[in-house]
Structure 1
Amino acid sequence: MPLSDYVAVRDRIVNGVSRIDTRVLAGRYRLLNPLSEGGSGTVWLAADETLGRDVAVKEIRLPPDLDPVRRQETYAAALREANLAARLKHPSIVTVHDVIIEQERPWLVMERLSGASLEQTVRNRRPLPVHQAARVGVGILSALAATHAAGMVHRDVQPGNVFLTRTGRAVLTDFGLAVVDGEVTSGRTGHLVDAPNYAAPERLRGERGTPASDLWSLGATLYFAVEGLPPHPAATPIAAISRVLTEPARQPERAGALGPLLMLMLDPLPEARPSFETVARALEELAAGRTATTPPPASTPAPAPAPVPAAAPHRPQPAPALRPLLQPRGAALWAAVEVAVVAVVIGATMGVVHLSADRTVVEKPAALSEKPGAFATPVDLCKLLPVASVQRLLPALNDEGKPTSNGGCRWTVSGLGLEVRPSGLNKQWGKSPRQAHELFVNERNNAIPSGQLAWSWSDIQAGARSARSTGPLPVAPVGNEAFGYDVYENRKTGRLEQSFVVLRVDNLVVDVGYTVVDGSEDGPSIRAGAHTAATWIANALNKQKAGG
């Protein structure tokens, strides 16, 4: 097509007057028509009048009231993306030709791709067949290998950043969140939840991210390609964060022979994910229409330690329990003192990071009193929950709670149990709210195990069980500050078995856990049980504190 045909291709009606859009950037790139629009800007088809070729120009849209500092940071990020992408030459990585600052905004000049993103393709048509999704995976995995070999981690692999050309090539785009080895990333934590459905659990916990994190994101992206939805479907970004952090991926229904590989790539533990070489071989087999051998897990779980006595199981991560509580048939509940405001607990030793749909805010805790707290002596935890309340969680319960040797209390029936226990080195209180907060922080940062463990509880017919736990996770607000953690069955099923909430009220710190041992309840119901019990305890403590 002659270059003259590119000029003035778009008529616009502005205030009733027709005009031709002939914007030219840097005296060279003539903007033609938009290719796609998003919250952060527009990608334009443009004509490079110097070289006589089509290009794509990414316009970074800045809010008009953006302060000068943030504006400069955005300019720097655009330059950084161009510099990173320019280092990489690979057929499955989009080529960036130029970057321009004009009209008070950044513009990235990129290779013109003809086709649509994976997200658009699946949403506008239907999920891809397995062999085609595997072919996409081969290309993007190769692109990621090249990225990692250059000392970078992409950190934003998602369906919207995978482009499918009309020639069948899969291209990885948008290096705006990529990091180079040794680079400081603290100034970009706000991007953490841009696409939480496709961010690895460790990324959502505030960690930097590694090649294994990109592998998880690729697994989630290919899952979307064949299933038409992410592996942790959720209605809101916050709900997605919670589900990625606290639940195993939804079992795929359409993935066929690709399904087992995807579930391995989506393992919540980075070290348990298969190697790039193993995934590449499996994807190549599937892309060729052959049945791939499912690779074994990256590592074999360590032999289970000796069974934990019939006391409380070890703890990991809870999620905001926001759906109605279901009546459990095979459950056990635990509890201990400590409460928070949280959205997600990551980050600084004495700080809490709140993740919202559009921003991340690091908040220092309010000044806490050094004076003696409201609870000067140990609290009788057995009296906090009457049997009538506990029966809402454990319907067959008839007896009162039984005290334990460490100051907690336990309710049990066949297959079910509830326990309230002190949290943190067999202490449930500090002399002051400040000391209790320090105990809470120590529990959150140091005392919650992550990895393989064994537990048992003979009173509820839970024999020695192999499980894995995760670290601190978000819970809905309860008490003064709180976090949660979960315990999952071994990786054969990945079923959630126990959910815990650690909370603080004034100078008390408590652990609350709810357990279903027969598989009769799903993860959200188990987490709802733990959160419900923690709320009861926090309310009872606050009433006692107020003299009620």
Structure 2
Amino acid sequence: MISEEGDHQATTSAHRGSGRLIAGRYHLHDVLGRGGMGTVWRAHDQLLDRAVAAKELHILTHGDEEHRIRVRRAIREARAVARVSHPHVVGVHDLVESEDRLWIVMELVEGPSLSQRIAENGPLTPQHAAALGVQLLDALEAVHAAGTLHRDVKPANVLLRRDGNAVLTDFGIAALDDGEFLTTTGELVGSLEFMAPERVMGTEVGPASDLWSLGATLATVCGGQSPFRRPAHPATLHAVAYEEPVLSERLGPLYPVVEALLRKSPDDRPPAATARAALRRVAAGDTTAEPLPTPTVRVPRSSPSSADADTVTSGQERLVPARGAVPTARHTTTLKPVRELPEQSSRSGPTRVLWALVGTAVLAAGVGGGLFLTGTPPFKENSKATTASYVVKSAASWQPVTGVTVQRGDRVTVRFVSGQWTADYRNMPMTGPAGYDAATDKLFAGAVDCKIRRASPFGSLLARLTGKQGYPIHAVGRKLTFKAAGNGALELAMNDLAGSCSQDNRGTLTVKVVVTRPS
């Protein structure tokens, strides 16, 4: 909780006027805006002679140990955001301590916020809102790939450049909130009507939570009203947690994707690729409005034959209907609507019940056909699954995944969730679970003996079973699924040996492991 001293000092400093020099470098001018967590100033960087925006965070850098821990967390996450180079994410230039508080120095976006734009000109058309939605979705994926969340996506935190393109800003909440950080009035930090239900309920949050807030934002700027705002805060919290959203008919073809993003359970919300495809269709002028399915029924394609002891299907699992390709985090979309072929997807039925019936039939056919092609009978319907999340360290060798056990016949899935790492932090960029591209990998030619798996590039995520017999080493990529050929422990590692080879490694990857056991 912010101390009264800190709040008073923030208010006093905000009214001292311009002319202050921060960190011996940033000269403050006028106030651009104020919020619960900070004051944003127009400033001038005297060292580089450029205009910037300086956000004065309303927390003191001194205090008790708990307070200092939160400040350190703020610094870590602000640095994570600073590593994101994306046209629709505000550029973070510097993080400094001055006048006993933290300051985040960012690029200066000369344009109104999305909330100001709506207040002055009224709601956006579905096509315009969808185009902005694609940009914000791309921005969020870049932020998630950096290993952090935004946690306060709302119209006021979206700035519009002079060309009309969107910029996601104000990462103060993401850096400072751990689910418990409160304002001086005892309220949760952030705008209640744009908080995902899991955050309101105090349960685990993740990338899907930011997508929920994006859905609430699109509903507000296109429909002209917040779908969960109520006269009092308790009523708003109740609406977010338990009530269906109030969606305007103005949404038109945007209605299905907004409805899907606002589903209460994170598991019921569409993945980013499905939401992007739907938004692109609306932005391109498609007026059809079909509901998006719930992504719960999975159908593995036929597993290719392999010389390995395990039957592997890496990246072959799909949803019914298909998700579409996984995009890169640095994907960019302009506001100009471009007619393009929509991503392939199955047509959805009028209700989720129909999807469940269709999905069950396809599941039986797909699983049975795929496994019989490999000479393995299908799993029974009452198979059991164990799920665990694990953080894989780049500077360690093989790391056992705790919380799961693997037995012969189990179906093991390792899915990349978030994070980046590098095999040489001094010279090489960050990369993801697939590792470096061929050209970059060749730069490591002199250190090829450090590879665990010669066929895979440096930096790739690897998986193996360890037990009484030897098992093959697999490249995970964004997702790996295999059938265990025996009992063992699942271990993960970066494709770089421990010891002297990994001393210059940095970063981590978060993965989700699912072990399905037939009963």
Relative to the length of structure 1, the TM-score reads 0.48
Shift, 1:262, TM fit: 1.0
The alignment partner of 2:250 has SS state of coil
The alignment partner of 2:56 has SS state of strand
Shift, 1:147, TM fit: 2.1
Q: Aligned residue for 2:205?
A: 209
Alpha-carbon distance between aligned partners in 1 of 2:36 and 2:175, rounded to the nearest angstrom: 23
Q: Aligned residue for 1:48?
A: 45
Q: Aligned residue for 1:289?
A: 285
Alpha-carbon distance between aligned partners in 1 of 2:281 and 2:78, rounded to the nearest angstrom: 34
Tell me if 1:147 matches 2:129: no
Query: Where do 1:127-166 residues align within 5 Å?
Result: 127-166=123-162
Q: Aligned residue for 1:98?
A: 94
Q: Aligned residue for 2:235?
A: 239
Whether contact under 8 Å (2:21, 2:28) holds in the other structure is yes
CA, structure 1 residues 45+284, in 2 after alignment: closer, same or farther (shift >3 Å)?
A: same
Residue from 92, 98, 118 that aligns with 1:122: 118
Tell me if 1:261 matches 2:257: yes
Q: Aligned residue for 1:198?
A: 194
Shift, 1:254, TM fit: 1.4
Shift, 1:40, TM fit: 2.6
Instruction: Report the RMSD for the aligned CA atoms in angstroms.
Output: 3.0
Query: Where do 1:107-506 residues align within 5 Å?
Result: 107-178=103-174, 185=178, 188=181, 192=188, 194-291=190-287, 294-299=290-295, 300-301=352-353
CA, structure 1 residues 266+54, in 2 after alignment: closer, same or farther (shift >3 Å)?
A: same
Shift, 1:285, TM fit: 2.0
Shift, 1:32, TM fit: 0.9
Alpha-carbon distance between aligned partners in 1 of 2:122 and 2:24, rounded to the nearest angstrom: 42
AA in 1 matched with 2:245: A
**What 5-or-longer segments of structure 2 have no aligned partner?**
1-11, 296-351, 358-519
The alignment partner of 1:296 has SS state of coil
Q: Aligned residue for 1:29?
A: 26
AA in 1 matched with 2:145: A
Tell me if 1:39 matches 2:47: no
1:253-295 Cα offsets, whole Å, 9 max, x none, are 2112112221121111222222211211121122222335535
1:465-510 Cα offsets, whole Å, 9 max, x none, are xxxxxxxxxxxxxxxxxxxxxxxxxxxxxxxxxxxxxxxxxxxxxx
Q: Aligned residue for 2:499?
A: none
CA, structure 1 residues 255+112, in 2 after alignment: closer, same or farther (shift >3 Å)?
A: same
Whether contact under 8 Å (2:56, 2:102) holds in the other structure is yes
Shift, 1:25, TM fit: 1.2
1:292-349 Cα offsets, whole Å, 9 max, x none, are 553532244557xxxxxxxxxxxxxxxxxxxxxxxxxxxxxxxxxxxxxxxxxxxxxx
Shift, 1:195, TM fit: 1.5
Whether contact under 8 Å (1:201, 1:244) holds in the other structure is yes
CA, structure 1 residues 70+60, in 2 after alignment: closer, same or farther (shift >3 Å)?
A: farther
Whether contact under 8 Å (2:34, 2:40) holds in the other structure is yes
Tell me if 1:60 matches 2:72: no
**What 5-or-longer segments of structure 1 have no aligned partner?**
1-13, 304-548
Which range moves more in the overlay, 269-278 or 43-52?
A: 269-278
Q: Aligned residue for 1:470?
A: none
CA, structure 1 residues 292+152, in 2 after alignment: closer, same or farther (shift >3 Å)?
A: farther
Whether contact under 8 Å (1:213, 1:270) holds in the other structure is yes
Shift, 1:188, TM fit: 4.1
The alignment partner of 1:168 has SS state of coil
Which range moves more in the overlay, 241-250 or 155-164?
A: 155-164
CA, structure 1 residues 41+213, in 2 after alignment: closer, same or farther (shift >3 Å)?
A: closer
Alpha-carbon distance between aligned partners in 2 of 1:153 and 1:179, rounded to the nearest angstrom: 9
Tell me if 1:80 matches 2:76: yes
CA, structure 1 residues 186+135, in 2 after alignment: closer, same or farther (shift >3 Å)?
A: closer
AA in 2 matched with 1:225: V
AA in 1 matched with 2:210: D
